[in-house]
Amino acid sequence: MQSIKLYDLALNDFEKKCGSPNTLKARISLNIKGIPFDTVWVQLGEIPTVIPKLTKTTETPTVPIIVDTSKNLVIQDSWKIAQYLEATYPDAPSLFHGNEALYKAAQESIDMLSMPFSCLVIVNIANRIGDEAVKNEFRKTREAMFGTTLENFAGNPEDKIKLANEVLKDIRAKLAKSVYLSGSKVGWTDVVWLSYLVMVDVLNHDVFQARILDGVPGDNTLREWYERMAKYV
Ligand SMILES: N[C@@H](CCC(=O)N[C@@H](CS)C(=O)NCC(=O)O)C(=O)O
């Protein structure tokens, strides 16, 4: 049993595969740092009861959280988890390479570019997020947030694949020149992009493999990086 526990989002029928970009950020960060941990899988419907018991705050309950039992510490939010790991394990491979502000800004830009990737998975998430009551609640809250049905929000998959590949042009160009998106060493930009791409791989596997990873004939830069990063997922 490890002293660090990562609370991650369970999806129906996925046999302990993580498909949430937020929890993936925490998972990949722990793995880059080489910190052993146990995963506690939580259903979406359990988050409001399980998480506040641990965080003991009034903050809206979400995953990921990590619990460090050796220090009696609970940290909520993927960014705060990365900051905690960076500060607590300075000798392990770095996530921010001394420039946290730059990486925070990079994440904000990537989050804004992530829409076509989310569109490619939203209906699949809605169908796998828990029992019927949880699925209905997920659909209701998201449709209220988007102001339309999930299917309308998802739109035409061909359009979203095209948009996703447009967005990835810069990423491919960067990877043609450097081993990692963060430069010569792996870092937070790799963590964030990998999290979004693994989400699509887990939730829309065939489209991801054939149309995104191999989306540009003759260009293997993205696939080679993705395979290089697989050990951190
Ligand atoms: N800013 C947070 C966002 C976390 C978040 O929204 N997590 C989702 C799962 S991906 C969640 O727990 N949602 C709870 C709910 O919708 O009730 C982070 O980066 O950790």
Domains in the chain, start-ordered, CATH in brackets?
4-88 (3.40.30.10), 100-232 (1.20.1050.10)
Per-residue pLDDT of the chain (233 residues; tens, 9 = 90+): 899 999 999 988 777 788 999 999 999 999 999 999 999 999 999 999 999 999 999 999 999 999 999 999 999 999 999 999 999 999 999 999 999 999 999 999 999 999 999 999 999 999 988 899 999 999 999 999 999 999 999 999 999 999 999 999 999 999 999 999 999 999 999 999 999 999 999 999 999 999 999 999 999 999 999 999 999 99
For position 192, what pLDDT does the model report?
98
The confidence score (pLDDT) of residue 225 equals 98
Ligand 1 pocket test, candidate residues 62, 107, 135, most atoms within 8 A of CB: 62
Nearest alpha carbon, ligand 1 atom 12: 62
- Ligand 1 centroid, distance to 178 Cα (angstroms): 32
Nearest atom (ligand 1) to Cα of 81: 20
- Quick check: CB of 24 below 6 Å from ligand 1? no
How high is the pLDDT of residue 48?
A: 95
Ligand 1 lined by 47 (C-beta under 6 Å): yes
CA–centroid distance, 126 to ligand 1, in Å, is 15
**Which atom of ligand 1 lies closest to the CA of 26?**
20
Q: Does ligand 1 come within 6 angstroms of the Cβ of 164?
A: no
Which amino acid makes up residue 41?
Answer: W
Residue by residue, DSSP assigns the chain as --SEEEEEE--TTSTT----HHHHHHHHHHHHHT---EEEEE-GGGHHHHHHHHH-S-SPP-S-EEEETTTTEEEESHHHHHHHHHHH-TTSPPSSTT-HHHHHHHHHHHHHHTHHHHHTTHHHHHHHSSSHHHHHHHHHHHHHHHTS-HHHHH--HHHHHHHHHHHHHHHHHHHHH-SBTTBSS--HHHHHHHHHHHHHHHHSHHHIIIIIIT-STT--HHHHHHHHHGGG-
Our answer on whether the CB atom of 94 is closer than 6 Å to any ligand 1 atom is: no
CB of 29 sitting under 6 A from ligand 1 = no
Residue with the smallest CA separation from ligand 1 atom 2 is: 77
pLDDT for the residue numbered 130: 86
The alpha carbon of 152 and the centre of ligand 1 are apart by a number of angstroms equal to: 23
Measured in Å, residue 181 CA sits from the centre of ligand 1 at 25
